[in-house]
Amino acid sequence: MERFYVTTPIYYINAEPHLGHTYTMVVADTLARFYRAKGVETFVVTGTDEHGDKIAAIAAAHGENPKLYADRMSPLFQQAWQECGFLVDQFVRTTDPRHEQLVQEFLQRVYDNGDIYFSRYAGLYCTGCERFLTEKELVGGNCPDHKRPPEPIEEENYFFRMTRYLPAVQQYFEAHPDAIYPEHYRNEVLAMLASGGIGDLCISRPKTRLDWGIELPFDRRYVCYVWFDALISYVSGLKMRGDDTFHAFWPTAHHVMAKDILKPHAIFWPSMLLALRLPLFRRLLIHGYWVRGEAKMSKSLGNVIRPLDMKQQFGIDTLRYFLLREMAFGQDASFNEDAFAARANADLANGLGNLASRVLSMQQRYFDGQVQPLDPPTAADDDLQGAFAQALVEVPEWTEQLAFHRALEALWRALDHANKYVVDTAPFTLARERQQLPRVGGILHRLLECLYTTATLLAWFLPETSQKIFSLLGVTAPVRLPTSLGWGEHFPIGHRVQPPITLFPRIDLQKEATPRA
Ligand code: MSP
């Protein structure tokens, strides 16, 4: 049995879910649905990262106990993803006792192996990053990400002997060129490793400074560093479903995230796994940032778009389409309402929505919704079929390569072809002459097949729309992604299709209240 395990970062609960998180969720969901369509067994883990300074500080600012604060915030993520319809097999909260127990077990194992030592440390600590920064990283004395100076801190702590594992990590990435995608992030990581600038990792915080974390099993005066805790969620999420689930899925782990957290995933995490004597993940899939104007969309900068507002206003598939079509995976992309409306109107309302509605309404008008036999194909018919045969090959190929924008582009080339075919063959004109009706029936049958293939290829990108199209066609979705078009096999003659519905209403930004920022 082929398997595919995909994770998203577990999100900090210092604010509500925003568009950046939603993109990562859409990518993980799209991949899971794609592999499912190919008959692969999939497992998706996401969750919330609830320990550490950042959460303790925001809970305190709300005058709340951190656990109660977490209990209030974590469900916002869980519910948002559920309402968006994302596949999630296990949602991990790091305050879940099952997770906490595993983190302690892992800490003890690394300690027993002699890979954790106690030492005095003085450094510059950024509470935003939750780590010590080096002088070199500062920009004008400030943390480059959080735009404020780190605090000088001196204390005794526990350190993970990460340096012991760095050569093996480097070897792994050298031997597995696809383990970090896109390649320039792999090069970045290899350069980091080659620089020799990475030291051991401080994995404790004294309770006198921070007590909101998982206690070290070998010293109760300390709690665990939040990253050491959080990364283990990728294992605890599987183990929550039993050791069999862990053994079955772990070797296929794909971690999706933005470039902001490449270092913990590419340096800390494989070192931890090696120290735990666990196999390494299969791949890190790194995407860029969504930006609005110049600024990255993030909670700390307070520049956010809420997924549920977007869903309510435009529908989840319109949002999914925009996110997947507009961002080349690995590069940054910018979000603005005009581009969003323009894309949705051109590709969804006009391109796909219009085709479906024309075809289904002609089928009603001329044949009372009943499918007619295919007539002998003309050159135009063959071209149309060729365009969709090409999409059937290209769309899965581009998806596999994470080039979602190219996959959608390829499908829309076929849809453009179909819209042009309607104009060129002009069934609405032919239908005026009775003896042309068999030809009209043949044309419409082929157009219904276009919609069938489109719904098949949209199953992982726009699952709601894909379902809607299949139900308009009155057929069920194929169990497996087919390798050939099978046109002529999906609709028995006389089979009734439904009258059209509006799949995508046109967006008029003048009328819409713009999404709340
Ligand atoms: N808690 C850590 C992750 C621990 S994983 C073991 C964390 N949380 S976070 O809430 O800050 O989420 C960061 C992730 O959210 C990014 O890696 C990315 O997946 C997503 N994004 C947050 N803002 C984003 C954009 N503006 N654009 C794209 N993705 C963004 O880091």
Q: Give the model's confidence band at 297: pLDDT under 50 very low, under 70 low, under 90 confident, else very high.
A: low
Q: Answer yes or no: do 281 and 346 share one domain.
A: no
Compute the distance from residue 256 Cα to the ligand 1 centre, in Å.
Answer: 10
Distance from the alpha carbon of residue 167 to the mean position of ligand 1, in angstroms: 28
Q: Residues 302-315: what's their mean pLDDT?
A: 84
Q: Which two tokens stand for residue 300?
A: 């700390």
pLDDT reported for residue 295: 66
CATH number at residue 109: 3.40.50.620
- Ligand 1 atom 10, closest CA: 11
User: Using CA atoms, how far apart are residues 329 and 504, in angstroms rounded to an integer?
Assistant: 25
pLDDT-based confidence at 152, cuts 50/70/90?
very high
Which is the catalytic residue, given 54, 99, 299, 311? Answer: 299
Query: Is the distance from CB of 158 to CB of 120 less than 8 angstroms?
Result: no
- For atom 20 of ligand 1, the residue with the nearest CA is 21
- Is residue 481 a contact partner of residue 37, using CB atoms and an 8 Å limit? yes
Q: Is 392 within a domain? A: yes
In this model, does residue 128 exceed pLDDT 60? yes
Are 284 and 383 found together in one domain? no
Is 294's pLDDT higher than 70? no
Going from the Cα of 260 to the center of ligand 1, the distance in angstroms, rounded, reads 7
66 vs 72: CA distance, rounded Å = 10
Are residues 288 and 386 part of one domain?
Answer: no
Higher pLDDT, 42 or 145: 42
Closest by Cα among 313, 434, 452 to 366: 434
Could you tell me the sign of the dihedral formed by the alpha carbons of 17, 22, 23, 24, in that order?
A: positive
Instruction: Specify the residue for token string 């879910």.
Output: 17
Rounded to an integer, the average pLDDT of 124-137 is 82
Within a domain: residue 483?
A: no
Q: What is the pLDDT of residue 442?
A: 98
Q: Does 296 participate in catalysis according to the annotation? A: yes
Stretch 297-326: mean pLDDT: 85
Segment 306-314 shows an average pLDDT of 90
Question: Does 87 have pLDDT greater than 50?
Answer: yes
Phi, psi of 139 (to 5 degrees): -120, 110
> CATH code at 383?
1.10.730.10
Residue 130 in domain: yes
CA-nearest residue, atom 23 of ligand 1: 20
- DSSP class of 304: -
pLDDT of res. 517: 41
Q: What is the pLDDT of residues 181-226, one digit of tens each?
A: 999 999 999 999 999 889 999 999 999 988 999 999 999 999 999 9
Statement to judge: residues 355 and 421 lie in one domain: yes
Coil, strand or helix at 127: coil
Q: What share of the chain is helix, strand, coil (3-state, %, to 5)?
A: 50, 15, 35
Active site residue 84: no
409 burial (CB, 10 Å; 0-12 / 13-18 / 19+) is middle
For the stretch 259-281, pLDDT in tens is 999 999 999 999 999 999 999 99
Does the pLDDT value for residue 293 go beyond 80?
A: no
User: Which range of residues forms the domain containing residue 356?
Assistant: 337-473
**pLDDT the model gives residue 409:** 98
Residue nearest to atom 8 of ligand 1 (CA): 11
Q: Atom 19 (ligand 1): residue with closest C-alpha?
A: 257
> For a substitution probing ligand 1, which of 126, 260, 305 has the most ligand atoms within 8 Å of its CB?
260
Higher pLDDT, 517 or 59: 59
Three-class SS state of 222:
strand
Gap from CA of 257 to ligand 1 centroid (Å): 7
Q: How far is the CA of 11 from the centre of ligand 1 (A)?
A: 6
CA distance 207 to 460: 46
Among 237, 303, 258, 307, which Cα is nearest to 81's?
307
Verify that 286 and 347 share a domain, yes or no.
no
**Would you say residue 116 lies in a domain?**
yes
Asked if 136 is an active-site residue, the reply is no
Nearest atom within ligand 1 for CA of residue 260: 17
Question: How far, in Å, CA of 268 to CA of 226, rounded?
Answer: 12
| Shared domain check, 101 and 9 | yes
Where is average pLDDT lowest: 287-291, 305-309, 363-367, 481-485?
305-309
Q: Can you tell me the distance from the alpha carbon of 507 to that of 225, in angstroms, rounded to the nearest whole number?
A: 46
Poorest-confidence range of 11-15, 168-172, 372-376? 11-15
**Which residue has tokens 């726009």?**
462
Tokens of 258: 């933005």
Confidence bin at 300 (pLDDT 50/70/90): low
* Per-residue pLDDT, 131: 78
Residue 516 pLDDT > 60: no
- The alpha carbon of 427 and the centre of ligand 1 are apart by a number of angstroms equal to 50
User: Does pLDDT of 513 surpass 60?
Assistant: no
Closest ligand 1 atom to 234 CA: 6
Residue 297 CA, closest ligand 1 atom number = 26
Average pLDDT, the chain: 95
**Which of residues 438, 456, 473 is at a domain's end?**
473
**Residues 344-350: what's their mean pLDDT?**
98
Question: What secondary structure letter does DSSP report for 394?
Answer: H
Q: How many angstroms does the Cα of residue 46 sit away from the middle of ligand 1?
A: 11
What b/e readout covers 173-192, taking b as 16+ CB neighbours within 10 angstroms? Answer: beeeeebbbbeebbebbbeb
pTM given for the model: 0.94
- Report the SS3 class of residue 295: strand
Q: What is the total count of domains within the chain?
A: 2
- The answer to whether 51 is a known catalytic residue is no
Do residues 256 and 382 both lie within one domain? no
Q: Which residues line ligand 1 (CB under 6 A)?
A: 9-12, 20-21, 23-24, 49, 230-231, 233, 257-258, 260-261, 289-290, 296-298
Question: Strands, DSSP E only, in 161-277?
Answer: 180-181, 201-202, 204-206, 215-216, 219-224, 253-258
21 included as an active-site residue = yes
Residue 292's beta-bridge partner residues? 295
Residue 198 lies in a domain: yes
- The residue whose CA has the least distance to atom 21 of ligand 1 is 20
Substitution candidate for ligand 1 out of 8, 12, 146 with most atoms within 8 A of CB: 12
Known active-site residue 247: no
Task: Name the active-site residue from 259, 263, 296, 495.
Answer: 296
129 tagged catalytic: yes
Lateral strand order in the sheet of 253-258: 90-93, 41-49, 3-12, 253-258, 283-287, 180-181
Are residue 110 and residue 183 in the same domain, yes or no? yes
Catalytic residue among 54, 84, 99, 129: 129
Measured in Å, residue 199 CA sits from the centre of ligand 1 at 24
**pLDDT of 301 higher than 60:** no
- For residue 298, pLDDT over 70 is answered with no
- Please name the amino acid found at residue 96: D
Rounded to an integer, what distance in angstroms lies between the CA atom of residue 136 and that of residue 283?
29
Does 162 fall in a domain? yes
Q: Are residues 160 and 229 in the same domain?
A: yes
Q: Based on the fold, state whether residues 34 and 131 are members of the same structural domain.
A: yes
What is the distance between the alpha carbons of residues 160 and 477, in angstroms, rounded to a whole number? 51
Q: Is residue 516 part of a domain?
A: no
Does residue 106 register a pLDDT over 90?
yes
For residues 394-413, give the mean pLDDT.
98
437 and 356 fall within a common domain: yes
Q: What is the pLDDT of residue 129?
A: 79
Cα 54 to ligand 1 centre (Å): 14
Among this protein's residues, is 299 annotated catalytic? yes
Question: Ligand 1 atom 30: the closest Cα is on which residue?
Answer: 20
Residue 463 three-state SS: helix
Residue nearest to atom 17 of ligand 1 (CA): 258
Shared domain check, 342 and 298: no
Residue 505, domain member (yes or no):
no
